Amino acid sequence: MLADVTQWSPTRLGNLTGKRIIVTGATNGVGLGTTRALAGAGAHVIMAVRNTALGAQRAAEIGGSTEVLEVDLSDLASVRAFSDRLDGDIDILINNAGVLTDQRRETVDGFETTLGTNLLGPFALTNLLFARVRSQIINVASDGHRMATLRLDDMHTRHTKWTAMGAYTHSKLAMMLWGLELDRRLRAAHSGVVTQLVHPGWVASNLSNTGESRLMSLAHKAVKMVADRLANDIDEGAVPTLYCISEPIPPGSFVGASSRFGLRGEPALIGRSPGACDYDAAARVVQFAEQETGTTLPV
């Protein structure tokens, strides 16, 4: 029986001493809140970050047992190097890092940057590390996936109109479908590893801090001003991820805020869009990601 979500708090994590947990994007936003809670519960947190100097500063501020390793999810060479540098097994992999860009760009691998960072980088990282994951993979997606239409014939938006929010929600729908197929494959293989997806709600964070144009910068500042007053702080935004660790929820669950519009509220199992429940589309997304990254799940 699930716990009463109205009473959830970080104390439900219990004592995580001896657990090794990777958190990508751990220097800011939800990743920082997640890292802080896990380290506070005794876990050894591997902070997988682009900016190692900032990572070291955050680790010092957090205290507890942490280490900082460099990874740029928009660069497959960096993802592979991270996998090579990592020593030993891990208990939980949290694919938290995400980006919202101001204009269409491509990564060093030729991927549309939003898709490359939000889907293909975490996809490759998960496949490369899977043999060393003991128990759980948590992917931070978004309820914004409901606004997206999957473009399987143009995943990198080379031939269709690109917009910042369109690219972001498209990447999150693709991530939801990857999570669906990942769960299916783990169950079919009778794996001891489970996976969940989470929506952190509306969080005051620096997600779109990407060297914006003046217009985007002004819009971002306006949204941030409202968010700082009304949205979840980063610790509240981390709760759905932490809930996946502390509660006995079913494999493949999508966890988010319990309020009507999913913006704030206590953590709960929430529904996903019909498009995010399409197993055929999920298999095609994974096939695309395997081809682009040259990686596959070793189950």
Please identify every residue annotated as catalytic. 168
Residue pointed to by tokens 């280490």: 67
Q: Long-range contacts: 221-227, Cβ < 8 Å, 24+?
A: 227/202, 227/203
Question: Strand, helix or coil at 221?
Answer: helix
Residue 74 has phi, psi (to 5 degrees) of -85, 5
Give CA 239 to chain center in angstroms: 13
CB atoms within 10 A of CB 60: 9
Rounded to a whole number of angstroms, the distance between the first and last alpha carbons of the chain is 30
Cα gap 268→173, rounded to integer Å: 20
Token pair of 99 as six digits:
């980006």
Specify whether the CB–CB gap between 66 and 39 falls below 8 A: yes
The candidate with the shortest Cα–Cα distance to 294, out of 83, 134, 8, is 83
